[in-house]
Each structure stands twice: as structure tokens, then as C-alpha cells.
């Protein structure tokens, strides 16, 4: 199905239905019930996190420019502090790894579907002097909930990736999250939401990789955490991630974000112990859609690398470290840890720590 969707997007095919007509009537009651419960709380307007991160690293090198595009997840809806948004977490993490300042510009729009990416890309590329070095796109959930044709969704995404790559920016796509993890969604709608989400995520991967981008599967945002801890990892509206959820997502995207800029100490060499492989791009996309946090990057057509770069954050009891270690030991490996502490009022705060030595953390 993912291959059919991607082919339809590339060659102008029409809508490819993901639902059988007989299933629609069975699910109508479940849909109405989910609509009444999802969003029952109030999701705050996402705070603006635009600006410069890593000012302590100011030096002769120009700041890296990071662009963020997509929907409410990219915008950070569901949290109240700028530092808790995925853009801020990614920018501060990128600054810690590169030891350079990072200028963040977030043009994501809550409620956006993939057809809004054209506008968002135009905003980022309006000033040729400020073309981003790397962009992160997080999109797809609203395409599913608003029943946007999958071929149109993927076509819009691939066009956005192609425009950004043509302008000289590297691109990392966080694919459609698994809507089957939303707590108020019951069976059989939960099963259907998961199936449709994964099909779209796989098709997004095929389209983005073919245009020179890399993808990270967001899946259930990410791993089993959302299903096991929905009260902790979802925000007050039971739909958008909380600060904990966004930190978990950022930990999955950051290694790929650094790798695409040549900053991550691990190469694209495959590690069999971590179940990494070179597969046909469609098969790699399908595998990635099933396991959140999986990276897919193009190799030589029609092959793609399936990578697992994800790092887990440290336990909540660990105090945050104010600065990254500036000088890794020669010849040693380096890992980036996300440390989580709390302010006096209990609000989570985050710090990225680059640590020399030791094996990569799973």
C-alpha cells in the first residue's frame, strides 16, 4: 500500500482509499465518541521558541540555521514554556553537539495538513541569505483525521522536501505519528487509526528518501511510552504531547538531525547488533513504520539504510548538567544524553549533555 501511495503521489495518481466501504458504517459511532473526548481539555497556544540557542559557543563560525515545519506537534502545542517545545529542545541539542550557536525559526502551524507545507517552505526560503542549513518536518496526523487523500498528502510532502533540498538545506522528516495510541480512541477505530497512520508514514518515508531527505518514524511517540504512560506523556487535551512527550520525540530526532550535518560520531556503517540493515526503500519504510525511532536514509537506488540511532533520556532523578563536555577523549566514542530535572514548581526542565567514552546507549 505504501508503494502504491508513493507511486500515485509521484506520477499523479488519484486517491487511494485506505478504508473499505463496509468498515465506514461500523466505525461511525466510534469516531463520534472519540471526537467528543479528544480535546476535552484546553491545549495552550504554542509558545514561540524562535531565537538563538547555544550563545556560549559564539566564535568565528557562523550559527547553524534550523527550520521547523509542520503541524501542532512541530509547533509544540500542549506545553506552556518555549524551552519545552521540540524546536527548542532540538536547537539546544544541536548547539551542544556542534558547539556552535543555532538560530531556530519555526513556521509550523497548529492544525496544518501537508498542503500547508508549500506556504511554510516559502516563508523559510523568502530570504536567500537566511536559508536554513537543516530543516525538520513533522506532519501527517491532521491528514489522517481530516481524511486527506494519501497520494495528495505524500505529493505535498515530497514537493516540500525537493524545494528545501534544491535550496541547499538538509531535511529530516518526522513521519506521521501512530494515532492508535490516543487514549480516547477505542477498538475497532484504534486498530484502523494505527493501520492508516503506519501506511501514511511508510509512504512519506518512500517519498522523502527519494527526494534526498532522511526520515525518523515517530510512531507512537516514541516506543511503548505513550501506551504505557498516557497520563504522563499526553497533554491536558488528551491529544497533544506533554513536555515529557516532546522530550521523548526530540531524543529520537536529534541523532539523525546531527548525522545529516556530519556531526554525529557514528557513521552510516550498519551495526548488525542493533538490527540495522540495507533494504529496498519500500521494505525499509515498512519496517520503520512499525518501530518508532527508526531512521531511513537513501543509499543507492532502490536501496536505503535502516538505522537505530535513538538515545533514551536519563532517569528523572538525575540533575541537569549546565554545559556539554567540550573535549571528548581522542579515539573515544561520544554519546549525547538528555537530562531531566524539575524547577521549584515541579515544571520539567531539560539539558543535553555530550559525554565522552562508553558504548552507545540503547
DSSP-based three-state secondary structure for 172: strand
CA 343 to CA 96: how far, in whole Å? Answer: 21
Q: Is residue 72 annotated as part of the catalytic site, yes or no? A: yes
CB 149 within 8 A of CB 199: no
CA 249 to CA 235: how far, in whole Å? Answer: 14
Look-up: residue for cell 533494504?
279
Look-up: residue for cell 466505525?
27
Question: What's the 3-state SS for 61-117?
Answer: CCCEEEEEEECHHHHCCCCCCHHHCHHHHHHHHHHHHHCCCEEEEECCCCCCCHHHH
Q: Is residue 240 annotated as part of the catalytic site, yes or no? A: yes
Q: Let me know if 51 is exposed, middle or buried by CB neighbors in 10 A (0-12, 13-18, 19+).
A: middle
Catalytic annotation, pick one of 48, 50, 115, 237 = 237
Closest CA to 76 of 68, 86, 67, 66: 86
Look-up: residue for cell 516532546?
246
CA 290 to CA 194: how far, in whole Å? Answer: 10
- Give the cell for residue 334: 561520544
CB 241 within 8 A of CB 235: yes
CB 253 within 8 A of CB 295: no
Catalytic annotation, pick one of 103, 116, 240, 308 = 240
DSSP at 356: E
* CA angle (306, 19, 279) in 5-degree steps: 15
Closest CA to 259 of 360, 134, 144: 134
CA 77 to CA 85: how far, in whole Å? Answer: 8
Look-up: residue for cell 526503500?
281
Query: What sign does the dihedral 298-173-220-245 (CA atoms) show?
Result: positive
Which residues are marked as active site?
72, 237, 240
Amino acid at each position: 500500500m505504501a508503494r502504491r501511495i508513493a507511486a500515485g503521489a509521484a506520477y499523479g495518481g488519484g486517491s487511494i482509499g485506505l478504508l473499505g466501504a463496509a468498515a465506514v458504517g461500523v466505525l461511525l459511532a466510534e469516531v463520534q465518541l472519540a471526537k467528543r473526548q479528544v480535546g476535552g481539555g484546553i491545549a495552550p497556544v504554542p509558545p514561540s521558541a524562535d531565537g538563538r540557542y547555544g550563545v556560549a559557543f559564539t566564535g568565528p563560525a557562523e550559527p547553524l540555521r534550523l527550520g521547523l515545519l509542520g503541524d501542532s506537534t512541530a509547533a509544540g502545542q500542549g506545553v506552556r514554556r518555549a524551552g519545552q517545545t521540540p524546536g527548542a529542545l532540538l536547537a539546544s541539542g544541536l548547539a551542544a553537539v556542534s558547539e556552535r550557536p543555532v538560530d531556530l525559526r519555526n513556521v509550523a502551524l497548529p492544525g496544518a495538513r501537508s498542503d500547508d507545507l508549500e506556504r511554510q517552505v516559502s516563508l523559510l526560503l523568502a530570504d536567500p541569505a537566511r536559508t536554513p542549513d537543516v530543516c525538520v518536518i513533522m506532519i501527517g496526523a491532521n491528514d489522517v483525521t481530516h481524511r486527506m487523500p494519501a497520494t495528495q498528502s505524500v505529493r505535498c510532502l515530497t514537493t516540500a522536501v525537493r524545494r528545501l533540498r534544491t535550496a541547499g538545506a538538509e531535511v529530516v522528516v518526522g513521519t506521521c505519528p501512530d494515532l492508535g495510541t490516543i487514549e480516547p480512541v477505542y477498538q475497532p477505530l484504534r486498530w484502523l487509526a494505527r493501520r492508516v497512520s503506519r501506511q501514511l508514514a511508510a509512504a512519506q518515508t518512500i517519498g522523502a528518501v527519494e527526494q534526498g531527505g532522511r526520515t525518523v518514524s515517530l510512531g507512537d511517540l516514541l516506543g511503548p511510552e505513550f501506551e504505557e504512560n498516557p497520563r504522563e506523556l499526553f497533554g491536558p487535551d488528551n491529544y497533544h504531547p506533554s513536555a515529557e512527550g516532546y522530550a521523548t520525540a526530540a531524543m529520537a530526532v536529534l541523532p539523525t538531525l546531527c548525522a545529516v550535518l556530519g556531526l554525529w560520531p557514528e557513521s552510516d556503517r550498519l551495526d548488525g547488533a542493533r538490527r540495522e540493515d540495507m533494504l529496498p526503500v519500500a521494505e525499509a519504510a515498512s519496517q520503520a513504520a512499525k518501530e518508532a525511532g527508526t531512521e531511513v536514509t537513501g543509499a543507492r537506488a532502490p536501496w536505503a539504510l535502516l538505522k537505530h540511532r535513538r538515545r533514551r533520556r536519563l532517569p528523572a532523578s538525575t540533575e541537569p548538567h549546565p554545559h556539554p563536555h567540550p573535549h571528548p577523549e581522542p579515539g573515544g566514542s561520544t554519546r549525547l544524553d538528555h537530562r531531566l530535572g524539575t524547577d521549584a514548581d515541579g515544571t520539567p526542565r531539560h539539558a543535553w549533555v555530550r559525554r565522552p567514552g562508553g558504548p552507545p546507549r540503547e
